[in-house]
Amino acid sequence: MLTLRKSDDRGHADHGWLKSHHSFSFADYHDPRHMGVGNLRVINEDRIAPGTGFGTHGHRDMEILSYVLDGALAHQDSLGNGQPGGGHAGVIRPGDVQRMSAGRGVRHSEFNHAKDASTHFLQIWILPRAAGIDPGYEQKHFDASARRGRLALVASEDGRDGSLTIHADAAVYAGLFDGDEAAELALAPGRIGYVQVARGSVEVNGQRLDAGDGATLRDEPLLRLRAGRGAELLVFDLAP
């Protein structure tokens, strides 16, 4: 069964410097019908105005992924990332995927330092298998060629195929689809599929999805993507 979540039905917040759409309940947006899918808890589509961003704040016990569509996102955290001598530059751009394991507690900030361009990105939260793990950080770049006409694995529990390692029972794929390009993903019995279209449009198991739309697949052995029109999307293979 495929359940469609239309873009216009999402929660919306406009803080001036930040415009955000919430696929699931988040902050001041609460809808008991949309609290997440499986162990996926948050998909926020955020646009950050030039020269603004999220000040230092804390998280715990969540696997947090950031996927930049346009612009750049500068990250600093209490682990030293994005700071002088830190392990990572902490700036993510289109094609980059960032993973922050909040674990027993981490503090971070995210800023758009550009003077004349917004940052457009997806922020994703997935429940970890266990609470209280060591916090951690990782970022990798996935070329457009690796995502063109296929589902490229960008995050998984075992870090296979060069993906980021998340401490959660989930796999996350990214893809770019146009015209005759098509892909399939097998879903094991009991698993839940979720598709989030970031831009363009694509057909998912016979249903047309446009930018901002999402779709949940339950009791479907196969997820099929075809007939993309400038589509950029994320696909999640989730624990129930």
pLDDT digits (tens, 9 = 90+) for 115-170: 999 999 999 999 999 999 999 999 999 999 999 999 999 999 999 999 999 999 99
Question: Where do the domains of the chain lie, and which CATH numbers do they carry?
Answer: 2-238 (2.60.120.10)
pTM of the model: 0.96
Task: Supply the pLDDT for residue 88.
Answer: 65
Whether the predicted pLDDT of 224 surpasses 80: yes
Answer yes or no: are the C-beta atoms of 69 and 232 closer than 8 Å: yes
The predicted-structure confidence for 27-36, as pLDDT tens digits, reads as follows 999 999 999 9
Whether the predicted pLDDT of 84 surpasses 80: no
Mean pLDDT score of the chain:
96
Nearest to 18 by CA among 97, 105, 101, 123: 123
Q: Write the DSSP assignment of 47-69 as a string of letters.
A: EE-TTEEEEEEEE-S-EEEEEEE
Q: How confident is the model at residue 82 (pLDDT cuts 50, 70, 90)?
A: confident
Nearest to 183 by CA among 219, 235, 144: 235
Task: Supply the pLDDT for residue 85.
Answer: 59
